[in-house]
Amino acid sequence: MPSQYYLFLGFALFCIGVMGVLMRRNAIIILMCIELMLNAVNLLLVTFSKMHQNADAQLFVFFIMVVAAAEVSVGLSIIVLMYRKVRSIDINILNRLKN
């Protein structure tokens, strides 16, 4: 199977993630879309690593996974904090609160 397929899949997943962040209004779904972006990058890195015959990028993937885990733990706790206050995780409610 040529590695271009993986590249196209990676780019497609990344674009889906970006569109999701821009269009969805639910904080958890936005978080999932950000994770999708990071995992698309992981897939691309592994593919490029295979193409260049070089293992650096595979190491990079491990770092991305660790950082993503740390980020999600902070992010979910922020969302929980928000939910306790306003009983909603819709990010539109933030703009309504301001006025």
Q: Is 13 in the site for other proteins (CB under 8 A)?
A: no
Cα(20)–Cα(29) distance, integer angstroms: 8
Helix residue spans in 1-99 (DSSP H): 4-23, 27-52, 56-86, 92-98
How near is the Cβ of 8 to other proteins at its closest, in Å? 13
Nearer to other proteins, 1 or 22 (CB): 22
Beta bridge partners of 90: 26
How near is the Cβ of 19 to other proteins at its closest, in Å? 12
* Mutual angle of helices 27-52 and 4-23, in 10-degree steps: 160
Q: Is 17 in the site for other proteins (CB under 8 A)?
A: yes
Q: Is 48 in the site for other proteins (CB under 8 A)?
A: yes
Burial of 23 (0-12, 13-18, 19+ CB in 10 A): exposed
Binding site residues, other proteins, CB under 8 A: 14, 17-18, 21, 27, 30-31, 34, 37-38, 40-41, 44-45, 48, 51-52, 54, 56-57, 59-60, 63-64, 67, 70-71, 74-75, 78-79, 81-82, 85-86, 91, 94, 97-98
